[in-house]
A and B are shown apart, each in its own frame.
Chain A
Amino acid sequence: MNEVNSDVVDLSTMESIYETYSDQPGALIPILQKAQDVYGFLPPEVLQWIADPLDIALGKVCGVVTFYSQFYLEGRGKHVLKLCDGTACHVKGAQTLVSAVEEEYHIRPGETTEDGELTLEVVYCLGSCALAPVAVLDGEIMGRVQQDGLLAAVKKRLASAPGPVGQGEPHGIE
């Protein structure tokens, strides 16, 4: 069994995550999701930690992680901007918004700015199609997005405090 290197990543929360889900059938995906909520992505140490008690080969765990778009194997920026390119958003000009952000911040979808501040992602459908085009910035959803408004909102957010750790998908306003 490989030794988990807990010097690099603080694995103390993994125990309680495991306790919550371990007796549920099909526990792997919920555990991965909760772990990513905590760490912001899935470091290899965490994957190894999960594989052992669930008695699943690490390769199989990686197979699951790389299949689903929700999981990240690398850390992302302090702020995450998701632009929807679902059919309705696409016909309402989502690609223009993508190009505008690419040009302003010199990153392509899936990439993070060099200073680690902003990650851009393109997603297929957030379910607010009648308010196309739609964007989610650090978990906050925005509809009827225009280019200028989007760039201004991103600029304002980058100038403020970092987003919450472990932002996965949009959280909606709670």
Chain B
Amino acid sequence: MALSEMSRLDARREQAKQHWQERLSADLYITIGVGTCGYAAGAAQSLDAIRAELEKRNLQATIKEVGCVGMCSYEPMVELQAKGRPRLNYGMATASVIPEIFAAYFEDAPLVTGVIVGQVQDTATCLAAGTLHSLTFVDPERGEVIPFQHKQHRVVLSNCGLIDPECLDDYLALDGYTALSVVLSDMTPEAVIDEITASGLRGRGGAGFPAGVKWRYARATQNWPKYVICNADEGDPGAFMDRSALEGDPHSLIEGVIIAGYAIGAQHGYLSCRAEYPLAIRRLGIALAQARELGLLGANILGTDFDFDITIKEGAGAFVCGEETALMASIEGERGQPRPRAPYPAVAGLWNQPSNVNNVKSYAYVPRIIRLGADCFKSLGTSSSPGIAVFALTGMVNRPGLIEVPMGITLREIVYDLGGGVPDGRKFKAVQTGGPLGGCLPEEYLDTPVDFDSLRAADAVMGSGGMVVIDETTCIVQFAKYFAQFVCDESCGKCPPCRIGSTRMRELLERITIGQGKLEDLDEIRRLATGMRQASLCALGQLAPDPVLSTLRHFEDEYRAHIVEHRCPAGQCRELLSYTIDPDKCVGCTMCARSCPVNAVAGERRQVHVIDQAVCIKCGTCYTVCKFDAVVVR
């Protein structure tokens, strides 16, 4: 019976592959990126505009709605492929630009607002054990891969932007669920765990714990039922790679979770996804229903005696629920407060049963590792951090977005080669890595290789892969205060070191930003940090001081400028700014005096004006209204 169920799946897959080829040779084939970022940039309106333009030109087209490709700075992105013409991807394709894009594509008209992202190649990378399809964008004139894609190896993101995430056949056409078939027909659970261990996969949620080791513990625990839990509670501000993978390729994750269930001997899985990702939740629901219909979930999967099903749980808004014990508490319907470990989830987790918790990307790598082999995965990356990882590059860079690169690439390559450097001619100040519990690295560290261990050695952390770039206009003390505030807001409140420590730390930083800091405050911050690190119950409290401490370590001069000189070098701390009038530029137009809400400006018509510093409230109105650039802000 098993053979016939698997044959049925194989036959369906063959049919899907045929349809895939047929679609690509349509007269006109159009794709549009509709992840949350696409919608945020106006993709829904672009789709309407495409339909209107097709009607106007009396054209028929096959339109496919795909997930986001990770090149967020170009959203909305639209791809056009007509018979006999190249396959081109256009960016900045908002509704009003669609007619211009069609004219450019069909009539060689010039592009004004839209941009060509590149000529698209559906790259089928033939690796020793199988094929991996992904999208490559090539500069149509130079024939080279575009800079943003240099050094990228799209594995977890390979299907994103290529397939319609609501179409199971698309996933099947690109060898989807082949890994599950192989696992259920040819591999024992122990063999699966051996393969995952051999690949060296370290958890992609941030802690970097070897996945195979975790699975082995869960398998070894003789207590049923067991649970597989996917942590899709991507709460790190600045991180959205899970969101992209969930929206763009939900079946990869589902396949990985089912394989994990088989490996550890579980009967049920939970996908705990944060409520702030409603599109991801919707697509996961659709994908689960499709998988059930095809016999990939439920009783006797693919005709074997393996039963497994999955439930989606929506998070209710708490960053701390990204911590695994808090996550499990929220699935249980409790307040999301962490518990001490041991016992670890592999021994006693959800409802005190053996459970395995891994991140979205970790599970999404599993079918690829099974299909392409552990050695292939390991061959990318470094020996201690094998494989590739996905990073979210945001903040002050020219090309923000998601990149999937081998571990060991340097920060400089990420920020400058892929990210295009800092815009508006400003100076790079720091890159904040690892989310709100990570660290800030200044220019001297740009040649640090990005892997778990090298970043730890530099007192930063890889975390879930967020990288936020800041430039000279960001005050580092304000930046540190932002992270302290975040911890205050998100602390579950259970343990005093985190609850009280974060509050006191924020207060100290606040005082420094308003010119009331003392040099002793810096030592006090370090003392609080030690207490929080040593005594907090969970990683939130333990790591909370890290972003603050790293700014203090690398930018102590800037803290001292605030405290000793009452000066904010970045010009961001309002109370430390002074507004003065340059006598060489002032023409005495009286505009500032008339606009000042507190009458702090004195001066006669056609005479140089002066601002009374004692009265000035630093609202900036004079700066805004002066047409002669005579107001100096320092």
Residues of A whose CB lies within 8 Å of any CB of B are: 24-30, 32-33, 63-64, 67-71, 85-92, 123-132, 134, 141-144, 168-174
**A141 contact set on B, CB distance < 8 A:** 36, 39-40
| Chain B nearest CB, measured from A168 CB (Å) | 7
> Cβ of B238 and Cβ of A64 under 8 Å apart?
no
CB–CB B486/A130 < 8 A: no
- In the complex, how many angstroms separate the beta carbon of A51 from the nearest chain B beta carbon? 12
Across the interface, A130 reaches (CB within 8 A) one of B73, B278, B432, namely: B73
Q: Are A128 and B72 in contact (CB under 8 A)?
A: yes
Residue among B40, B335, B393, B401 making CB contact with A142, cutoff 8 Å: B40
Contacts of A170 in B (CB 8 A): 276, 278
Q: Taking the complex as formed, is B41 at the interface, i.e. its CB lies under 8 A from any CB of chain A?
A: yes
Q: Do B238 and A68 have beta carbons less than 8 Å apart? A: no
Q: Judging by beta carbons under 8 Å apart, are B470 and A91 in contact?
A: yes
Instruction: List the count of A-B residue pairs having beta carbons below 8 Å apart.
Output: 157
Contact B396 A91 (CB under 8 A): yes
Q: Which of A85, A91, A92, A128 contacts B40 (CB 8 A)?
A: A128
Give the chain A neighbours of B143 by CB distance below 8 A. none
The interface bits of chain B over 437-458 (1 if a CB of A lies within 8 angstroms of the residue's CB, else 0) are 0000000000000000000000
Query: B333–A68 contact, CB under 8 A?
Result: no
Q: Which residue of B lies closest to A26 (CB)?
A: B333
Residue B336 at the chain A interface, CB threshold 8 Å: yes
List 8 interface pairs A-B (beta carbons < 8 Å), by A numbering. A63-B335, A67-B318, A68-B336, A71-B316, A87-B432, A169-B276, A172-B278, A172-B279
Interface with A: B17-25, B206-214, B229-237, which one? B229-237
Is B377 at the interface (CB under 8 A from chain A)?
no
CA distance A169 to B337 in the complex (A): 22
Which of the listed residues B234, B277, B282, B316 has the most CB atoms from chain A within 10 Å of its own CB?
Answer: B316
Produce 1/0 per residue, B305-339, CB < 8 A to A: 00000010111111100000000001111111100
The verdict on A90 contacting B276 (CB below 8 Å), with A68-B317, A125-B236 known, is no
Write out the residue numbers on chain A whose beta carbons fall within 8 Å of the beta carbon of B276.
123, 125-127, 169-170
Q: Which residues of B contact A126 (CB under 8 A)?
A: 36, 276
Using A86-B238, A88-B237, A128-B37 as known contacts, say yes or no to A168 and B275 having CB atoms under 8 A apart: yes
Known: A68-B336, A87-B436, A91-B474. A124 touches B316 (CB 8 A): no
Question: Of B314, B432, B486, which one neighbours A124 at CB under 8 angstroms?
Answer: B486
Which residues of B230-250 are within 8 A (CB) of A? 234-240, 243
With A68-B318, A129-B394, A130-B73 as given contacts, are A88 and B44 in contact (CB-CB < 8 Å)? no
Q: Which of A32, A87, A142, A171 contacts B237 (CB 8 A)?
A: A87
Footprint of A on B, CB under 8 Å? 36-37, 39-41, 44, 72-73, 75, 234-240, 243, 275-279, 282, 311, 313-319, 330-337, 351, 392-396, 400-402, 432, 435-436, 466, 468, 470, 474, 479, 482, 486, 489-490, 492
Q: Report yes or no: A173 in contact with B44, Cβ–Cβ below 8 A.
A: yes
Contacts of B396 in A (CB 8 A): 91-92
Most buried by A among B333, B401, B435, B436: B333
In the complex, what distance in Å separates the CA atom of A71 from the CA atom of B333? Answer: 14
The residue of chain A having its C-beta at the shortest distance from the C-beta of B316 within the complex is A68
A143 touches B333 (CB 8 A): no
CA–CA, A172 and B400, complex, Å: 22
Chain A, Cβ-Cβ closest to B70: A130
Q: Is B316 touching A125 in the complex (CB atoms < 8 A)?
A: no
Provide the residues of chain A in CB contact with B489, threshold 8 Å: 124
Distance of B428 from chain A, by nearest CB (Å): 13
Q: State in angstroms the CA–CA spacing of A126 and B276 once bound together.
A: 6
In Å, the complex CA distance between A63 and B400 comes to: 40
Contact in complex: A69, B318 (CB < 8 Å): yes
- Give the chain B neighbours of A26 by CB distance below 8 A: 313, 331-333
B487 CB, min distance to chain A CBs, angstroms: 11
Given A67-B492, A71-B317: 15 more A-B contacts, CB < 8 Å: A25-B332, A25-B351, A26-B313, A32-B316, A67-B337, A68-B316, A69-B318, A87-B238, A91-B395, A129-B237, A129-B240, A129-B392, A130-B240, A131-B37, A170-B276
Task: Assess the B278–A125 pair: CB atoms within 8 A.
Answer: no
Roughly how many angstroms separate A4 CA and B75 CA in the complex, as a whole number? Answer: 50
